Amino acid sequence: MAEPNSNKDGVAAESAPSHFIRNIVVDDLKQGKNHGRVHTRFPPEPNGYLHIGHAKSICLNFGLAAEFGGKCNLRFDDTNPSKENVEYVDSIKEDVRWLGFSWDGEYYASDYFEQLYQFAVRLIEAGVAFVCDLSADEMRQYRGTLTEPGRHSPFRDRSVAENLDLFARMRKGEFADGSRTLRAKVDMASPNINLRDPVMYRVVRATHHRTGDQWCIYPTYDFAHGQSDSLEGITHSICTLEFEDHRPLYDWYLDRLGVHHPQQIEFARLNLTHTVLSKRKLLQMVQQKHVAGWDDPRMPTLAGIRRRGYTPEALRNFCERIGVAKGNSTVDIAMLEHSLREDLNKRAPRVMAVLRPIKVVLVNYPAGQVEELEAVNNPEDPTAGTRKVPFSRELYIEQDDFREEPPKGFFRLSPGNEVRLRYAYIIKCTEVVKDPTTGEVIEVRCTFDPETKSGSSQSKRKVKATIHWVSAAHALAAEVRLYDHLFAAEDPDDVPEGADWLANMNPRSLERLTTCHVEPCLASAKAGDRYQFERLGYFCVDADSQGERKVFNRSVTLRDTWAKVERGASNSPPARR
Ligand code: ATP
Ligand code: MG
C-alpha cells in the first residue's frame, strides 16, 4: 500500500482528512456494524481508460480501507460486453498501481454470472420477477413519465412456472436479441422511475472479453452491482451522486434476496474546469482522432497525465485537497496544476534549456576554450548536489530574452545593455547581426566581463536580470511540446446553441518546438524523467525520444499563465523570474 494511506495501525488516523463518508465509517465501527470490518471496492467498467475523476474514487475507496485496516477490491463491472475489452482492463490495473494502490482482490462481475443467474431464479420463484415480451419502445410507453405513473406490462402476471421456463430458454438462446427481458416486479406507480419494474436481464448476442459466447443474456448494471458487492462482503459501497436514485433498487434486490447488505453511499463526482471527464466523450475524442490516443499528454486520463509528467503524489495530494462532499461542484484545474508544481518543485532537478533559440557570440571569449561551470541541481534539495555545465564562446539564449528595441522596463539583453548569464558571467550586447534579406536578427554579439564569474569573490557587480543559456557546441538538439487546455471554455459543455461540445476544443492546445537546445547532461535522461527547465516550467521526457534526440512534454508552467489570460491581461509573454 502506498505511503500516504499506510496508517493501518490507526496511529495517523487523526491526520486523515475528515469528510461525511469517513464519519459514517467511524460511526459504523463504533456501533460494531459488520463485525468491525471495513471493505470497499473500486468498480470501473472496462469501457475506457481511467481519468482524474476516477482517481478521486480510487483515493477515497483505497484510502478508507487503508486507514481503518480494511480491504479494498478492484472489481471490473463488465456486464456490457459490446463496449468492453481487455486493453481497458489492463490499462485500469496499470493506472491503479501507478497511483500507488494495490487491491486485496481482483474480481469481475462476469465471474458472478452463474450466481447472478441463480439470484434471478430465486426472485422469479419468489414471484417478484417476470419475463416480459415488450419491445424497448413499448416498454418506454408503459413506463409513464415523471408526472404520470406507468402501466403494468401485459406479461406481469405470468406464472412462476412459465417465467422459469422462459428465463431458462432466454439463457439457452431461443429468443432474438431484444425480444424478451427479465424484469423485477417493483412498483409501476413509483415516483422513482428506476423502480418501475426495472430490467434485470436482456438478450444480447455479444462476445464477452472473459466469458466469450457462453452467455447470450447479460444482467443490467443495477442487478449486477449490488449483488456483486454482497458476494464480496463489501461493507460500504461508495458511488457517485447519479446513483442516489438507484439506491432504493439496490436495497430492494438485496432485501428480497436476504443476503449480506452493504450500505450504498453517494458522493459528488469531480468536475474540472476546461476538462471533459466522461469516458464516453474521451472515447469519441480518441476515435475521431482529435487527440493522438488515450495517453495523449493533453488528455485528463491517468495515462495522459502520467505521460505529461504528473506524479502519483501530486494527484493523491490533489484528491486529498479537494475533499469529499455531497454536493456537485467544479474544481479549478489551476488547483491540480498547483499540486504538481508543489511536488516537482521539491524534487525535479533544474537544468537549462533554450526553446526558441537565438545565437549569442562572446567576441572577447577565447575561441576553443571551454569552462565547466558549477550549477546547483535543486535549491530546494541540498542532497541533490551540483553538476558541471559547459560554457564557451557561442551560446544560445531565448529569443524572448533579447530585444533590439527594448520596451520600457525590459531589463534583459538589448544593445548596450548588460545581463547576467546564470552560473556564468555578465555580458553586454555590442552588436546585432541581421539576415540581409529578411532583416531578422540572427546573431547577437556581446562582450563578457571576466571579473564577474558567478560564485567568485569579485562577482559583486549587480545587473537587473539573469537569463539562462546553453553552450551551442555542447547542447543537445531537442523537441519540446507545449500544451494548453484541450477545451478553451471553462465549461466544455457550454456551447452555442446547436453546436457540438467538440466545437469547444482549443485548436491551439499543442505547440511543437523542434529547434530547442538542452544541456548535455540530459543525454542519459530516460522517458518519464522530470526536470525543471529554469525559468520555463516543468518538463518530462517523452517516450517518443530517440537516443540523444529527446522529446520533452511541458508538464506545467512555473506560474499560472492561464488565470492571467482569463482575467483579460495583455498578450505579453508570461512573467519571468
Ligand atoms: P464515465 O462517466 O467517465 O464513464 P463512469 O462513472 O461511468 O464514468 P465507471 O467505470 O463506472 O465510470 O466508474 C468507476 C467508479 O469511478 C464509479 O464508482 C464512479 O462513480 C467513479 N467515478 C467516475 N467518474 C468520477 C468522477 N468524475 N469523480 C469521482 N468519481 C468518479
Ligand atoms: Mg459507469
328 assigned to some structural domain = no
DSSP 90-156: HHHHHHHHHHT---SEEEEGGGGHHHHHHHHHHHHHTT-EEEE---HHHHHHHH--SSS-----TTT
Residue 373 CB coordination number (10 Å): 19
Per-residue pLDDT, 497: 85
137 assigned to some structural domain = yes
- List the residue whose alpha carbon is closest to atom 16 of ligand 1: 54
Question: For residue 26, which amino acid is it?
Answer: V
DSSP 345-359: HHHPPEE-EESSEEE
- Percent of the chain past pLDDT 90, that is, above it, reads 90
**Pairwise CA distance, residues 559 & 575, whole Å:** 8
**Phi/psi class of residue 233: alpha, beta or left (left: φ > 0; alpha: ψ in -120 to 50)?**
left
381 assigned to some structural domain = yes
Catalytic residue flag (residue 45): yes
Nearest ligand to the CA atom of 46:
1
DSSP 305-340: HHHHT--HHHHHHHHHHH---SS-EEE-HHHHHHHH
68 assigned to some structural domain = no
Domain boundary among 456, 471, 486: 471
pLDDT at 277 exceeding the cut of 80: yes
CA 97 to centroid of ligand 2, rounded, Å: 21
Q: What is the pLDDT of residues 204-237, one digit of tens each?
A: 999 999 999 999 999 999 999 999 999 999 999 9
For 518-535, what is the mean pLDDT? 97
**Pairwise CA distance, residues 188 & 144, whole Å:** 8
CA 301 to centroid of ligand 1, rounded, Å: 12
- List the residue whose alpha carbon is closest to atom 22 of ligand 1: 54
103 assigned to some structural domain = no
Nearest ligand to the CA atom of 48:
1
- List the residue whose alpha carbon is closest to atom 18 of ligand 1: 239
**Pairwise CA distance, residues 464 & 575, whole Å:** 15
Q: What angle do CA 87, 88, 94 make, to 5 degrees?
A: 90
**Pairwise CA distance, residues 35 & 313, whole Å:** 33
- Percent of the chain past pLDDT 70, that is, above it, reads 94
Q: What angle do CA 78, 229, 166 make, to 5 degrees?
A: 65
Q: What is the pLDDT of residues 21-34, one digit of tens each?
A: 999 999 999 999 99
- Taken as a whole, the chain contains a residue count of 577
Residue 181, domain extent: 129-219
DSSP 139-195: HHHHH--SSS-----TTTT--HHHHHHHHHHHHHT-S-TTT-EEEE---TT-SSGGG
CA 45 to centroid of ligand 2, rounded, Å: 6
The residue written with cell numbers 546585432 in the block is 432
pLDDT at 457 exceeding the cut of 80: no
Indicate which atom in ligand 1 lies nearest the CA of residue 44: 10
- 44 close to 73: Cβ distance less than 8 angstroms: no
Q: What is the pLDDT of residues 302-337, one digit of tens each?
A: 999 999 999 999 999 999 999 999 999 899 999 999
Q: Could you tell me how many helices (H) and strands (E) the chain has, helices first?
A: 13, 27
CA 167 to centroid of ligand 2, rounded, Å: 26
Query: DSSP letter at 404?
Result: S
CA 140 to centroid of ligand 1, rounded, Å: 26
Per-residue pLDDT, 11: 38
Query: DSSP letter at 68?
Result: T
- Domain count of the chain? 2
Question: Does ligand 1 come within 6 angstroms of the Cβ of 269?
Answer: yes
End-to-end alpha-carbon separation of the chain, Å?
39
Domain boundary among 219, 236, 263: 219
Which residue among 72, 266, 269 has the greatest number of ligand 1 atoms within 8 angstroms of its CB, and so is best to mutate? 269
Question: For residue 559, which amino acid is it?
Answer: R
Q: What is the pLDDT of residues 139-159, one digit of tens each?
A: 999 999 999 999 999 999 999
Q: What is the pLDDT of residues 187-196, one digit of tens each?
A: 999 999 999 9
- List the residue whose alpha carbon is closest to atom 15 of ligand 1: 44
Q: What is the pLDDT of residues 1-21, one digit of tens each?
A: 333 443 333 334 445 779 999
Helix (H) or strand (E) holding 276: none
CATH of residue 133: 3.90.800.10
- 546 close to 526: Cβ distance less than 8 angstroms: no
Domain boundary among 164, 190, 219: 219
C-alpha cell at 430: 555590442
Per-residue pLDDT, 573: 40
Question: Does ligand 1 come within 6 angstroms of the Cβ of 47?
Answer: no
Question: For residue 533, which amino acid is it?
Answer: F
451 assigned to some structural domain = yes
Predicted TM-score (pTM) of this structure: 0.92
CATH of residue 358: 2.40.240.10
pLDDT at 482 exceeding the cut of 80: yes
Environment of ion ligand 2 (residues, CB < 5 A): 45
**Pairwise CA distance, residues 246 & 239, whole Å:** 11
Residue 489 DSSP SS3: coil
Q: What is the pLDDT of residues 363-403, one digit of tens each?
A: 999 999 999 999 999 999 999 999 999 999 999 999 999 99
Residue 271 DSSP SS3: strand
